[in-house]
Structure 1
Amino acid sequence: MIFRVDENLTDEQQAQIARNWFRENGSFVFGGILLAVGGLFGWNQWQDYAIVQAERASALYEEIALAVRSGRVSQADELLFDLDREYASSPYIDQARLIIAKSYMERNDFEAAAGQLAAIVASSEYDEMRHIAKLRLARVRLQQRRLDDALEVIGELTPESAFAAQYANVRGDIFYAMERVDEARTAYQLALVSDPQSSVIDRVFVQAKLDSLGVVDSTPSVAIEPAPEPAE
């Protein structure tokens, strides 16, 4: 039961993936909780219970999404607290944090956005969601010009995963902001190499950033000795 999302999908597309995943796996998630406390119900009973819980989690997430779309971010935060308290194993929690963080970013409340993203990095059960949150948190810190913090979030090494190109691209932006041009160039090159089919990054844009850094002349310099003066 792996929950997979793509950082480049819109929030609504990611939410639909979460809904589909939970419809298919929600009974196992909540069922595992029930079995852990002693199997108080028979299979049919707890499966029915799990379906109801999944539907309630979905409905609460939809309330959060509606509150965000309506500009009621404070209400969305309150509903998120309820979602986290009642359905701690739900992937909707991470998705709700992402859309709330995006709303805060649109209001230039970068610290509030960072708080939501950091919570995903620290507590999400899903690797993909942690990667997405790290990438977005690094960009928040970059926007704040907290460059050392941005680099710390993203890490010095590119993870060997489907997110490798995104990590390299963001790292290139951070290095460029730090005026570490050679490292920025290397990072952009790695981003292009990691995604030859342009499936997760905009290769044209990344190539443009790379081109703007100029080409390094790797030809070794050779000292030219002056010609000897002719003998008289």
Structure 2
Amino acid sequence: MAYDLEEQEQIANFKAFWSRFGNLITWVVIIALAAYAGWNFWGSHQRKQTAEASALYDELVNASQAQDNAKTQRIAGDVESKFGSTAYAPMSALVAAKAAFDANDLKTAKAQLQWAIDHGNDEYKSIARLRLSGVLLDEKAYDQALALLNADFLPQFAAEVQDRKGDVLVAQSKIADARTAYQAALDKMDKNHPGRQIVQVKLDAIGGAPAVTVKPA
């Protein structure tokens, strides 16, 4: 096929361009295709992981409800070791911690809660710290419990943290500080909070709201 001079010039320019940049363009395309394929593989892998973790989590919940602590811990260990990057891992740790606590296996309960603290997102960390402080309270490890309660928590847990601080301070016979903590918990709760009445009962039981210091004019 014959080409006019303008077309021949365009072809010559294209050949020169391809001779200079062809390899680079080819490699860019190959890398892009490889990245796309890798992304699809990773997405498929993640979906498979999530589905398998979900199935194990269902088994774990059933074992927990059946009060089979040994099976619950075994399944939780599988979820944590095989699917630690999924949300089901810290969820499993929390369920396993409760199962262990109900079975009076406080060592395992603490280990599972610590796992959730170490590997969960901020919400799971907050829940696990709050629950672990309760276990430490039961063990009379008051200073450890307070140290844990002074760690970082999401704002929505502020009332529960102050309530638990009050419990620990009462156990330490630090009644004035406990009053302050319980009052802080009430201040952070809205009137419809399900725990408000319980905190009020605790506060009333140790003498009511803390005294307000009036500064001289």
Aligned residue in 1 for 2:183: 189
Bigger CA radius of gyration: 2
Aligned residue in 1 for 2:205: 212
Unpaired runs of 5+ in structure 1?
Answer: 1-37, 221-232
Could you say what secondary structure the match of 1:88 adopts? coil
Answer yes or no: is the 8 Å Cα contact 1:158–1:167 preserved in 2.
no
Could you say what secondary structure the match of 2:37 adopts? coil
Distance change >3 Å, CA 65–CA 159, structure 1 → 2 = closer
Aligned residue in 2 for 1:134: 129
Relative contact order, higher structure (CA 8 A, sep 6+): 1
Distance across 2 between alignment mates of 1:100 and 1:50: 24
Unpaired runs of 5+ in structure 2?
Answer: 1-33
Distance change >3 Å, CA 119–CA 47, structure 1 → 2 = closer
Pick one of 81, 85, 88 that aligns with 1:89. Answer: 85
Could you say what secondary structure the match of 1:137 adopts? helix
**Amino acid aligned to 1:77:** Q
Aligned residue in 1 for 2:56: 60
Query: 1:83 offset after TM fit, Å?
Result: 1.7
Give CA-to-partner distance per residue, 1:120-159, whole Å, 9 cap, x none: 11222x101000001100011111122112112112x785
Give CA-to-partner distance per residue, 1:173-218, whole Å, 9 cap, x none: 000110001110000111011112343x511111111111214555
Pick one of 133, 140, 148 that aligns with 1:145. Answer: 140
Aligned residue in 2 for 1:154: 149
Give CA-to-partner distance per residue, 1:32-90, whole Å, 9 cap, x none: xxxxxx74735555434432221111011112222222333222222222222221211
Distance across 1 between alignment mates of 2:42 and 2:147: 43
Distance across 1 between alignment mates of 2:116 and 2:172: 27
Deviates more, 1:211-220 or 1:97-106: 211-220
Count residues in correspondence. 180
Answer yes or no: is the 8 Å Cα contact 1:158–1:168 preserved in 2.
no
Aligned residue in 1 for 2:158: 164
1:98 aligns with 2:91: no
Aligned residue in 1 for 2:106: 110
Distance across 2 between alignment mates of 1:158 and 1:194: 17
Pick one of 67, 71, 78 that aligns with 1:75. Answer: 71
CA RMSD, 1 decimal = 2.4
Pick one of 123, 130, 133 that aligns with 2:119. Answer: 123
Could you say what secondary structure the match of 2:118 adopts? helix
| Aligned-pair identity (%) | 32
Aligned residue in 2 for 1:202: 195
Distance across 2 between alignment mates of 1:218 and 1:74: 51
- TM-score normalised according to structure 1 size: 0.69
Distance across 2 between alignment mates of 1:49 and 1:40: 14
**Amino acid aligned to 1:54:** T
Distance change >3 Å, CA 160–CA 194, structure 1 → 2 = farther
